[in-house]
Amino acid sequence: MNKQVTWVLAIVVVALIGLSVYYSQSGNQGYTYTTTTTTQTSALTTTTTTTTTSTTSTGGATIEITASGFSPKAVTVKSGDTVTWINKDSVAHWTASAVHPTHAVYPEPGGCIGSKFDACRGLAPGESWSFTFTKIGSWIYHDHLFPSNTGTIVVQ
144 is a contact residue toward Cu ion (CB under 5 A): yes
Looking only at the bridges linking them, the beta strands covering 95-97 and 137-143 are antiparallel
- Using the contact rule CB under 5 A, the part of the chain among 4-12, 60-68, 85-93, 99-107 near Cu ion is 99-107
121 is a contact residue toward Cu ion (CB under 5 A): no
Closest among 138, 134, 136, 104 to 118, alpha carbons compared:
104
CB 100, min distance to Cu ion, A: 3
CB 65, min distance to Cu ion, A: 14
93 is a contact residue toward Cu ion (CB under 5 A): no
| Size of the residue set binding Cu ion (CB under 5 A) | 3
CB 15, min distance to Cu ion, A: 37
100 is a contact residue toward Cu ion (CB under 5 A): yes
60 φψ region: left (φ > 0), alpha (ψ -120 to 50), beta (else): left
- CB neighbour list of residue 145: distance below 8 Å, 6 or more residues apart: 91, 92, 93, 94, 122
